[in-house]
Structure 1
């Protein structure tokens, strides 16, 4: 059994829940000619997110999938594989239920780090109560608002450049 999560370029996706779901369902027809295992043509924040996540949670398929030797050297590697479907504006991930909690924590951390939105596909509700997380500021920045790095804290929080 897998649990699915979506990470997306928030500048490309609608923010209103019903419009977001329509956008996602249209995108998830996977109708383009692209290779959905390849990061070529994907927005840079998503590429950066993927390149960091795939180090800990390798891809099931494509260029970033482990080889036989890697599986032999790490018996737990198979449980950490993620089925990535990579599009221009989003990355859809199928994650083994056994590692989903720890993987979700890492995904959330990296989504904040790279300024991406994310959506827990396990909790899909076709109503206006759908929660689509579109972070404006990282948890670290929220927890340490007094540092020099965080000059313009309120501007960042509300999506304006500080």
Structure 2
């Protein structure tokens, strides 16, 4: 009986997942644990850089977490990827890549290149299944090189 009472007050994972996907499909999220003012100002200078939704993972969810708090704290942070994280929400899955190289956040200008490498290059993929997400690993966490030739359509003498 007590389990039924507790279940009434717990958030429904399926509802949280569906609300998250409805709100963020087609968008990118930067999950961080604190960003410098200089890094954020450089991000905003980039074309489309201000359109990334940013969430500070240091803020713990309340008793009734929002869908994004639920995804961040229940499904992203447990994988212990270096922060900040770049999350691209596509259809029923999340493609995740950390934004760290040499123990420092990469320059915000590299985010565009990383986005063009999805869905081939990611550190973590969360796919909607059952009541939440199923995780699958991609490239090594130690690997975060950007392939600039992946999106370059011209030759060296064509600009």
Compute the TM-score of the two structures, normalised by the length of structure 1: 0.25
TM-score (norm 2): 0.25
Q: Quick check: which one's helix share is greater?
A: 1
Counting strand residues as a fraction of each chain, which structure ranks higher?
A: 2
Of the two structures, which has the highest relative contact order with CA contacts closer than 8 Å and spacing of 6 or more? Answer: 1
